[in-house]
Amino acid sequence: MTNTKLEAAVKVEWQRANSAVADGDLGIAFAHLERAHILSQRLTLMHVRTHVAMFRIGWRRRDLHELLGQMARIVAATFFSRIWVPIGNTGGANVSAFRPMPVPDDLNAVLNEIV
């Protein structure tokens, strides 16, 4: 799989997140952003953009913990995406930014295509 195909998979999750926001379901929107995060971790700009979208959900929820967590993650994603990322990490402030996590099977199949 090329980066173009990986980018397309990230964009699908972003579109699903945007649809959920439009429907007023911020929980579903955030879940799609977590999936986008797993896919975008090695694509710096997309990784940063995913954290910015998570920040916006935190803003809409008035969730200070998420806002502060995303600010730190936006900076980290900007500088460390190409160096090291915790594989499978969902990117929300509810988990350690350093914790590797299991990758869902469907996303693992997408990621395995780029190896």
Could you tell me the pTM of the whole model?
A: 0.94
Q: Are 53 and 33 in contact (CB under 8 A)?
A: yes
Give the burial string for 40-77 (b: 16+ CB within 10 Å, else e): bbebeebbbbbbebbbbbbeeeebeebbebbeebbebb
Mean pLDDT of the chain: 95
With 0-12 / 13-18 / 19 or more C-beta atoms within 10 angstroms meaning exposed / middle / buried, residue 99 is: exposed
For the chain, the structural domain boundaries read 3-112
Question: According to the model, what pLDDT value does residue 38 have?
Answer: 98
| pLDDT over 90 at 47, yes or no | yes
The stretch 13-31 carries a mean pLDDT of 99
For the segment 53-103, what is each residue's pLDDT rounded down to a tens digit? 999 999 999 999 999 999 999 999 999 999 999 999 999 999 999 999 999
